[in-house]
A and B are shown apart, each in its own frame.
Chain A
Amino acid sequence: MSESAAKDTPEQAQFREHCRQWLADNHPGEPPVRLPQSPLEIMTTEQLDYLQAWQKAAYDAGLVGCDYPEEVGGGGRNDCQRVANAEMIRARTPFLPNVIGLGMAAPTVFYHGQEALKQRLLPRLFSGEDIWCQGFSEPGAGSDLASVQTFAEKKGDKWVINGHKVWTSLAHFAEWMILLLRTDKSHKYDGLSYFVVPIRSALGKGVTVRPLIKITGETGFNEVIFEDLEVDDSFRLDELGKGWQVAMTTLAHERGAGEKVTPRSGGMKSRSTHSSTSSSLIELARQCQRDGRPASEDALLRDRIIRQVIREEGLAQNQRRARVAALQDHPARLPLQNKLLSSEIAQDTGAIAMEVAGASASLYLGDDNAPAGGQWPMAYMNSYGMTIAAGTSEVQRNILGERVLGLAKSK
């Protein structure tokens, strides 16, 4: 609904045809290993190899980074990423593993990096050959992100970095990190600067990556410790002291409110993937019993399930309406709701699914009798990652209240 072939420009129509053709001939097929529910829980090199090969193939076919200029490894197209995304999802492809690179690092480097840096970094980012991670949060800097203490000290023409980052998804596979740090301790916001840092090549030489274990039992995120890591000044994005402004570009894209459309694929259905959607919930309700009848016949559960159907449709229609200028009062009002809504809808759907499953909701991944292979309890627990990461739901409500409604700042 939100994406219609009927309204394609000639360029989009031709590109859509190309995507369809290529996807029909090049779908990567069933994965050889169990895949996690999202790229943020990639744990093994087998999982990563399969997904990286998929991203490389999709990039080589022009489906990833298509709206970026050719000089930086993009496709040089106009508003075509949406088309590629829709076609990939329609074809039920696997997801793209370099999710932080594509969604956050690419637009940030593109809008704030020097030309030579863009040309060096972006092609291997788009192809997925270089995995990226994000160094923002710290033990003492969560919702109050601007209080980061990781410090870069100028020594000659180099910077020497010391500090501690946490919740760093994909750091265990990442070549590069986007890094928000402090270059001046006397100014909270204006003392921040922004770098891209090669971390894989520096492992054991100033960079330590340690896995953190999530509530689900999975890994996928890490803590990263910098001890006298030397980096070149050419890895700095934008001016010294402009780190906060650069971080806003990153966060806007992370929350789905940025200039660039993030390349996305997904939708692959197999025993190894799961989506917390209302249609999966309806399926579950048909399979589970309640008082000797399908749970899908229980009036109260039906009502709760349909609420989720409506909220999902509302989110999809928000995204459609966000592109109709005459039907909105404030340009950031709908985009800034995306992350809040999608994470809370998925969380509530997971919670309802566990009630629908009743006693069987107690069964986890390792139990053969678990409904849907135990994916629902895992999804429900993982949903808290989504309502906490990238600015908690509470921070999102502050941002919406302050930037869109103009209420006084809560800080």
Chain B
Amino acid sequence: MDMSQPDNFGFTEEAALLKESARKFLADNFPTEKLHALVADDPDPERMPGAHWDRELWQQMVELGWTCLAVPEAAGGVGMPVVAVAGLVEEVGRAAFPCPLLATLNATYALAACGSGGEAALAEIAGGTSASLAVTGQDGSWSVGDSAVKCADGRLIGSAWFVQDARKVERLLVSAQDEDGLGLYWVAVDAEGVDLRPDAIVDLTRDQAHVVFDNAPAQRVSGDAAAALGAAMPAIWSLLAADIAGAAEWQLQTTVEYVGTRQQFERPLGFFQAVKHPLVDVMVQIDQTRSLLYNAACACDTEPAAAARYAHMAKASASETAAFASGRSVQLHGGIGFTWECFVHLYFKRQKHSQMLWGDAAWHRARLADMLIGTAA
């Protein structure tokens, strides 16, 4: 039995207040109708990549201080524990709010693992600057350390792929090979030699790009990208699991509401066990994910040696939840669920994106198997 984590996950009254206020803020300012009107303007499957978002509302979030919550106090931030940030992210996921919060938090955790080299960049984030990680190659491998970007004399050359919310952020944190190994570099999106090439993605609530660097000026923040990213990954996985759990709860409650009103055979659909039981299974799966992600977030805060193990569990579970809740939400809405006008497709697409992002369930379970059973010969 592990004795080092607090019973309540370290989820303090302050964390509960943050979560509650985020929920209220998003419910008041960003109902699902608004999301649909904002992002679903063009159903054309061959549409040009879009990046629809409510900058004004985002600016309010920045002013509320949400982007600097994870920045350590020493760098001018709030230094809130990961578990409290997870509560906030769960609410952002519930609203499927298009914004670079998760991207900025991810960059924050990586920078916070860079020692003194990351301080200046962290101070920028504390000041309201947004950022995203550019650390993945074209094959989409989530292994930390893969990079097709090189750096010489402070200039980046090459491409980074699957950069999240790239068109919403101001800075990129790029992993690049240099003469000493793999380093982390801080670069402005609007710098010369940075070319964002938007991906045409399924998810309407995010944007994604590959970024081509052609002698882009960059500042080295760490000489050991693998170590910094490795240290940040448990928090990154935990927070994405929180986003998924929040979105899945929306899918569950929306579907429950629908099957409570829709009548067939003179009864509400929810009367039938073929409908009721899968919805219960969705709830059970969501609860597994929520419990595992708060445990993982708490481990990031209080038990770093176990954080990767617990965060693998959280994201493996979350990826299953994303897939299962999405499938059931469309299926149990029946014909209307298959249409563009019904809101469930927005969450379906967001969840399918989240399911694979930073490793799908099988990938995380394979890592866990290596940790818990031992590497297969």
Cβ-defined contact, A326 with B292, below 8 A? no
Q: Which residue of A lies closest to B377 (CB)?
A: A297
CB distance from B277 to the nearest CB of A (A): 5
Cα-based distance from A255 to B8 in the complex (angstroms): 23
Q: Which residues of B contact A305 (CB under 8 A)?
A: 369, 373
CB distance from A314 to the nearest CB of B (A): 4
Q: Which residue of A lies closest to B296 (CB)?
A: A317
Cβ-defined contact, B8 with A307, below 8 A? no
Q: Check: B156 CB closer than 8 A to any chain A CB.
A: no
Cβ-defined contact, A407 with B279, below 8 A? yes
Among B99-107, B167-175, B265-273, B339-347, the one that faces the other chain is B265-273
Among A20-28, A100-108, A114-122, A392-400, the one that faces the other chain is A392-400
Q: How many residues in A have their beta carbons less than 8 Å from beta carbons of B?
A: 55
Cβ-defined contact, A318 with B287, below 8 A? yes
Cα-based distance from A6 to B294 in the complex (angstroms): 19
Q: Check: A144 CB closer than 8 A to any chain B CB.
A: no
Residue from A90, A313, A315 with most neighbouring chain B CB atoms (10 Å): A313
Q: Check: B3 CB closer than 8 A to any chain A CB.
A: yes
Residue from A333, A394, A397 with most neighbouring chain B CB atoms (10 Å): A397
Q: Which residue of A lies closest to B371 (CB)?
A: A306
Q: Check: B365 CB closer than 8 A to any chain A CB.
A: yes
Cβ-defined contact, A407 with B6, below 8 A? no
Cβ-defined contact, A296 with B373, below 8 A? yes
Cβ-defined contact, B2 with A407, below 8 A? no
Cβ-defined contact, A313 with B276, below 8 A? no
Q: Check: A34 CB closer than 8 A to any chain B CB.
A: no
- Give the tally of cross-chain contacts (CB within 8 A): 165
Cα-based distance from A406 to B267 in the complex (angstroms): 14
Cβ-defined contact, A400 with B317, below 8 A? no
Cβ-defined contact, A408 with B267, below 8 A? yes
Cα-based distance from A100 to B283 in the complex (angstroms): 29
Contact A296 B374, CB 8 Å, known A303-B365, A407-B279: yes
Contact A306 B368, CB 8 Å, known A313-B313, A314-B291: yes
Q: Which residues of A contact B271 (CB under 8 A)?
A: 407-410
Contact mask A86-100 → B, CB, 8 Å, 1/0?
100010000000000
Cβ-defined contact, B368 with A313, below 8 A? no
Cα-based distance from A404 to B290 in the complex (angstroms): 17
Q: Which residue of B lies closest to A296 (CB)?
A: B373
Cβ-defined contact, B280 with A311, below 8 A? no
Which B residues between 234 and 292 are near A, CB-CB below 8 angstroms?
249, 252, 256, 259-260, 267-268, 270-273, 275-277, 279-281, 283-284, 287-292
Contact A307 B365, CB 8 Å, known A318-B291, A405-B280, A407-B256: yes
Q: Check: A33 CB closer than 8 A to any chain B CB.
A: no
Q: Which residues of B contact A397 (CB under 8 A)?
A: 273, 276-277, 280-281
Cβ-defined contact, A401 with B9, below 8 A? no
Cβ-defined contact, B273 with A406, below 8 A? no
Cβ-defined contact, A406 with B295, below 8 A? no
Q: Which residues of B contact A187 (CB under 8 A)?
A: none
Cα-based distance from A6 to B1 in the complex (angstroms): 12
Cα-based distance from A317 to B293 in the complex (angstroms): 9
Cα-based distance from A306 to B284 in the complex (angstroms): 18
Q: Check: A359 CB closer than 8 A to any chain B CB.
A: no
Cβ-defined contact, B272 with A410, below 8 A? yes
Cβ-defined contact, B9 with A321, below 8 A? yes
Identify which of B279, B317, B365 contacts A401 (C-beta below 8 A).
B279
Among B11-19, B67-75, B136-144, the one that faces the other chain is B11-19
Cβ-defined contact, B365 with A314, below 8 A? no
Q: Which residues of A contact B280 (CB under 8 A)?
A: 397, 400-401, 405
CB distance from B1 to the nearest CB of A (A): 6
Q: Which residues of B contact A307 (CB under 8 A)?
A: 365
Contact A317 B279, CB 8 Å, known A4-B3, A5-B3: no
Identify which of B13, B290, B316 contacts A321 (C-beta below 8 A).
B290
Q: Which residue of B lies closest to A285 (CB)?
A: B373
Q: Which residues of A contact B191 (CB under 8 A)?
A: none
Q: Check: B362 CB closer than 8 A to any chain A CB.
A: yes
Among A66-74, A169-177, A334-342, the one that faces the other chain is A334-342
Contact mask B361-377 → A, CB, 8 Å, 1/0?
01001101100111011
Q: Check: A210 CB closer than 8 A to any chain B CB.
A: no
Q: Which residue of A lies closest to B249 (CB)?
A: A329
Q: Which residues of A contact B369 (CB under 8 A)?
A: 302-303, 305-306
Contact A302 B284, CB 8 Å, known A407-B260, A408-B267: no
Cα-based distance from A4 to B1 in the complex (angstroms): 8
Q: Check: A240 CB closer than 8 A to any chain B CB.
A: no
Q: Which residue of A lies closest to B16 (CB)?
A: A326
Q: Which residues of B contact A407 (CB under 8 A)?
A: 256, 259-260, 268, 270-271, 275-276, 279
Cβ-defined contact, B7 with A323, below 8 A? yes
Q: Check: B331 CB closer than 8 A to any chain A CB.
A: no
Cβ-defined contact, B290 with A327, below 8 A? yes
CB distance from A80 to the nearest CB of B (A): 15
Cα-based distance from A337 to B310 in the complex (angstroms): 21
Cα-based distance from A317 to B11 in the complex (angstroms): 14
Q: Which residues of B contact A408 (CB under 8 A)?
A: 260, 267-268, 270-271
Identify which of A1, A394, A400, A401 contacts B5 (C-beta below 8 A).
A1
Cα-based distance from A90 to B275 in the complex (angstroms): 42
Contact mask A275-317 → B, CB, 8 Å, 1/0?
0000000100110000001001111001101110111011101
Identify which of B1, B11, B313, B368 contacts A324 (C-beta below 8 A).
B11
Cβ-defined contact, B295 with A86, below 8 A? no
Q: Which residue of B lies closest to A279 (CB)?
A: B372
Cβ-defined contact, A398 with B5, below 8 A? no
Q: Which residues of A contact B283 (CB under 8 A)?
A: 333, 400, 404-405
Residue from A286, A321, A402 with most neighbouring chain B CB atoms (10 Å): A321
Cα-based distance from A401 to B368 in the complex (angstroms): 33
Q: Which residue of B lies closest to A409 (CB)?
A: B271
Q: Check: A11 CB closer than 8 A to any chain B CB.
A: no
Q: Check: A320 CB closer than 8 A to any chain B CB.
A: yes
Q: Which residue of A lies closest to B284 (CB)?
A: A337
Cβ-defined contact, B365 with A320, below 8 A? no
Contact mask B54-92 → A, CB, 8 Å, 1/0?
000000000000000000000000000000000100000
Q: Check: A3 CB closer than 8 A to any chain B CB.
A: yes
Q: Check: A155 CB closer than 8 A to any chain B CB.
A: no
List the 6 closest A-B pairs by CB distance, nearest first. A317-B291, A407-B270, A314-B288, A326-B16, A408-B271, A401-B276
CB-defined A-B contacts under 8 Å, sample of 5: A1-B1, A1-B295, A4-B5, A310-B288, A318-B291
* Given pairs A305-B373, A407-B259, A410-B276, 6 additional interface contacts (CB within 8 A): A86-B1, A302-B369, A310-B316, A317-B291, A320-B9, A405-B252
A interface list, Cβ under 8 A from B: 1-7, 86, 90, 282, 285-286, 293, 296-299, 302-303, 305-307, 309-311, 313-315, 317-318, 320-321, 323-324, 326-327, 329, 333-334, 337, 340-341, 394, 397-398, 400-402, 404-410
B interface list, Cβ under 8 A from A: 1-9, 11, 13, 15-16, 19, 87, 249, 252, 256, 259-260, 267-268, 270-273, 275-277, 279-281, 283-284, 287-292, 294-295, 310, 313, 316-317, 362, 365-366, 368-369, 372-374, 376-377
